[in-house]
Copies of this chain bind each other. A is one copy, B any other.
């Protein structure tokens, strides 16, 4: 995506402490570009909050993004911050509506980086159909932050036919993975380690709300649980669910969608793809009778063409995730004790 800087005439080349002061420079920064870029009817440029009307059941979710590096193949911290919160809302079965946007910027961030991030936020919001309606900008001294951290917090409406909850999971539920795993983490790690491949591995960062809306319209309450497999990857999400439900989870390694190049990179980097972060992949627990139709539908949608049933919920080995390997061996997949990939999102 080619983004043009809308502001060739800022007085500063970099963000300074004054841009976070609440004084003249803050106003210049906001009025000379931020409000224009994010423009919408509800973005209140004169107050510290926005006012809107909604009815009924709502979802609310927050995420702070501290990824390093801030630009990476397939996106940057701005698009990621939109996708991350939009996806968390979608995983509640909600239709994301409004976002707040809060920056913590390290003094010295090049102004052009800031605008590029802001434009990516705008594009990601448009694609996901959400609006940024309130925000905040803070600046910290050089060495007290790391370029830019972004918090997005979102509100969405939950349709009546959505009923997404860990409590709905039953023995026999099929487990679907929406797309090939591990691309986000590997894209970031390759960049950090200076690895290059035949074709560049891109982050899978994308908004999933469109796909989820389609699924829920079609299958309603037969979709029991949705979870995006971000930090900690697929293994962590499945472990959390197993522990909460006190049921067992069986998965088959051969069925888990994984691109060959990503698999190769995982080997080089010594990473187990099951633990690598995704930013555009979700796990769905669904009633067994709709599982095949669900995969068929997913495979017709951009962003979930590699969807597959990878396992099911069992009564054996409660609270444990057991993987059958490609050659038939079985092993328990546990939660990682520490940090495999710091600052991946």
At the interface, is chain A mostly helix, strand, loop or mixed?
mixed
Q: In the complex, what distance in Å separates the CA atom of A52 from the CA atom of B338?
A: 33
A135 at interface (Cβ–Cβ under 8 A)? yes
Contact partner, A51, options B25, B92, B146, Cβ 8 Å:
B92
Q: Which residue of B lies closest to A153 (CB)?
A: B153
Q: Is A258 an interface residue (CB 8 A)?
A: no
In the bound complex, how far is the Cα of B151 from the Cα of A141, in angstroms? 18
The contact string, 1 if C-beta is below 8 Å from chain B, for chain A 308-345, is: 00000000000000000000000000011111101100
Interface 1/0 per residue, A39-63 and B, CB below 8 Å: 0000000111111111111111111
B59 A232 Cβ-Cβ under 8 A: no
Complex Cα distance, B27 from A151, in Å, reads 21
Pick the interface stretch among A95-103, A192-200, A291-299.
A95-103
Say yes or no: B166 contacts A46, CB within 8 Å.
yes
Q: How large is the interface on A (under 10, 10 to 19, 20 to 34, 35 or more residues)?
A: 35 or more
Mark the stretch among A14-22, A72-80, A211-219 that contacts chain B. A14-22
Instruction: Give complex CA distance A26, B337 in Å.
Output: 9
A104 and B102 within 8 A (CB): no
B335 close to A88 (CB less than 8 A):
no
Q: Please, which residue of chain B has its CB at the minimum distance from the CB of A53?
A: B57
Nearest first, the 10 closest Cβ-Cβ pairs linking A and B are: A22-B231, A49-B61, A62-B100, A22-B232, A153-B153, A18-B338, A151-B151, A21-B339, A23-B336, A48-B88
Residue numbers of A with Cβ under 8 A of B are 16-18, 20-27, 46-66, 68, 88-89, 91-92, 94, 98, 100-104, 133-136, 138-141, 143-146, 149, 151, 153, 155, 158, 165-166, 227-228, 230-232, 236, 240, 244, 275, 335-340, 342-343
Complex A-B: 14 CB contacts under 8 Å: A20-B342, A21-B339, A24-B335, A46-B240, A47-B91, A48-B88, A64-B102, A64-B104, A65-B138, A66-B138, A102-B151, A104-B149, A139-B342, A141-B343
